[in-house]
Amino acid sequence: MARPDPTAGSCNRAEHDLSRRLFLQGAAAGGVGGFARLFAADNAAKAAAKQKHVILLFLSGGPSQFETWDPKTGRPTGGPHLNTQTTVPGVRFDEYMPNLARLANKTAVVRSMTSDLGDHMEAHYLAQTGHKPTAATAAPPHWLSACAHLQPGPGTLPPYVVLGAEQGGMAVPGPGFLGAGCQGLACPGKGRGPEDLPAEAAAAAQEFHRRDALRAKADARFADGRTTPGTASHSAAFSAVAGLLENRTLFDISREPARRAEAYGPSAFGRDCLLAARLVEKGVPFVRVQHQNGLAWDKHRRAFDSQRHITREFDTAAGALIDDLIDRGLWDSTLVVMMGEFGRTPEILGQGPPGRNHWTKSWSLSFGGCGVRPGVVVGSTNEDGTAVKDRPVTVPDLFATFYTLLGIDPRTELEYEGRPVPLTENGKGTPIAEVL
């Protein structure tokens, strides 16, 4: 079985020196104690910067490639939106994506994605696990659960956090056969942390630890001679809660500077993106952010008017996130992925307020950071966007790329009941060389 090389990968590992601003802040904090606190914080930031992270911005419903990264303005399929020039010569995005257009020289775009599952639930599953839906007992994990298993990060922090919940019959794929230790910690969205944690009072925390110690004794007695994935998952869940009690301020975005928070915009998605940046800076390796609830990007009707709002909201928050990660010194170690489960049809529906149906033959997405070659556009579609013109990229290719960027050999096999399980379906997928 191939095993990941912990020293491999494309992430830059640049050290970040103390800035003059931080030095002055430390001096102002007062004497040796203030500087010591600054020094400790700086070391923590450096440690976080060396660790590889992922922030997945998932756009459920199928964002239109025509109204995002591959506009066809002026063509019969192009729709009413205009486009805007990006910082990459000759590359244009939708007019309502000015911030991502400004940052195009920091990211890569794939315009030649192709897949074959046009049902939301099936495509949703494929786009987040690298596997087609299966009835097999070894349910494949979400790719971030797989990452949390292979690169778990600091022990007291949750390795994987999910911000915002899917609704409307959709569900975020779980850890599958990897168990609860790789389950994404669910947060309700709007920049809030997990619900139903014990109260902040010290007495409440002490009571939790007292009860947890009794629980651990009972578990140990029960598990003696019968260690199973179920018992291990049970214990892992309680350990995770204990870790959260030690990191109560982790989810408190009120501690972020007001100017930084304002840049993300007033939306729930913006607050979640701000929280994602905070979590990564504190050392959480993997974060999934849901843009709105349900199938917000599923624009069969009334597409173009509503698209203005949703695209602006996404562009504001995603642009601020990239700027923020750069400012925090985390861009070179954080892979930011912006994608949905498929694209939209070239044909514009003529009945009622116009929109687009589901489309899998040629769609787009974007990602950057963590060693991604910036300013690259992979593949292209023909002039009306009806087909991939060159360089088709499949979902397994995409995940092979992500794993490679994180220093994980995409041929790595997980293990379930003594059987090898590849990271992508049947071990398919070739990394996209153009972005590495």
Determine whether 391 is exposed, middle or buried from the number of CB atoms within 10 Å of its CB (0-12, 13-18, 19+). Answer: middle
Between strands 377-378 and 380-381, the pairing is unpaired
In the block, tokens 């950071």 appear at 369
Contact 102, 96 (CB under 8 A): no
Question: Coil, helix or strand for 154?
Answer: coil
Read off the pLDDT band of 31 (50, 70, 90): very low
Report the alpha-carbon distance of residue 132 to residue 125 in Å, rounded: 7
Mean of pLDDT over the chain: 84
Nearest CA to 128 among 111, 113, 146? 146
Q: 8-12, 196-200, 373-377: which range is least confident on average? A: 8-12
Nearest CA to 421 among 131, 127, 152? 131
Report the alpha-carbon distance of residue 226 to residue 220 in Å, rounded: 10
pLDDT at residue 249, as a whole number: 85
Report the alpha-carbon distance of residue 8 to residue 261 in Å, rounded: 35
Over 50: is that where the pLDDT of 244 sits?
A: yes
Complete DSSP assignment for 343-393: EE-SSPP-SSS----EE-SSEEEEEE-TTPPTT-EE-EE-TTSSSEEE--B
Contact 107, 366 (CB under 8 A): yes
Report the alpha-carbon distance of residue 337 to residue 55 in Å, rounded: 6
Over 90: is that where the pLDDT of 302 sits?
A: no
Query: Which residues, including other chains, have CB under 8 Å from residue 101's CB and lie 6 or more apart?
Result: 84, 85, 86, 87, 92, 93
DSSP 80: S
Over 80: is that where the pLDDT of 352 sits?
A: no
For residue 244 the two structure tokens come to: 């959260």
Nearest CA to 159 among 264, 250, 231? 250
Residue-wise pLDDT for 78-90, tens only, equals 999 999 999 999 9
For residue 58 the two structure tokens come to: 């998932």
pLDDT at residue 170, as a whole number: 77
Determine whether 333 is exposed, middle or buried from the number of CB atoms within 10 Å of its CB (0-12, 13-18, 19+). Answer: buried
Over 60: is that where the pLDDT of 125 sits?
A: yes
**For the chain, how big is the Rg over CA atoms in Å?**
22
List, as own/partner pairs, every contact residues 411-417 make where C-beta atoms lie below 8 angstroms and the sequence separation is at least 24, other chains included.
411/2, 412/1, 412/2, 412/3, 412/4, 412/150, 413/1, 413/2, 414/141, 414/146, 414/149, 414/177, 414/178, 415/1, 416/138, 416/177, 417/138
Report the 10 Å Cβ neighbour count for 139: 19
Residue-wise pLDDT for 311-326, tens only, equals 999 999 999 999 999 9
pLDDT at residue 367, as a whole number: 99
Crossing angle for the helix pair 229-245 and 202-223, nearest 10 degrees? 170
Secondary structure of 248-262 in HEC code, one letter for each residue: HHHHCHHHCCHHHHH
Report the alpha-carbon distance of residue 138 to residue 161 in Å, rounded: 23
Report the alpha-carbon distance of residue 384 to residue 262 in Å, rounded: 38
Over 80: is that where the pLDDT of 35 sits?
A: no
pTM over 0.85: no
Q: How far apart are the first and last CA of the chain?
A: 24
pLDDT at residue 34, as a whole number: 37
Report the alpha-carbon distance of residue 163 to residue 54 in Å, rounded: 13
Residue-wise pLDDT for 365-388, tens only, equals 999 999 999 999 999 999 999 999
Residue-wise pLDDT for 395-435, tens only, equals 999 999 999 999 999 999 999 988 999 999 999 999 999 99
User: What's the full length of the chain, in residues?
Assistant: 436
Q: Which helix (H) or strand (E) holds 160?
A: strand 160-163
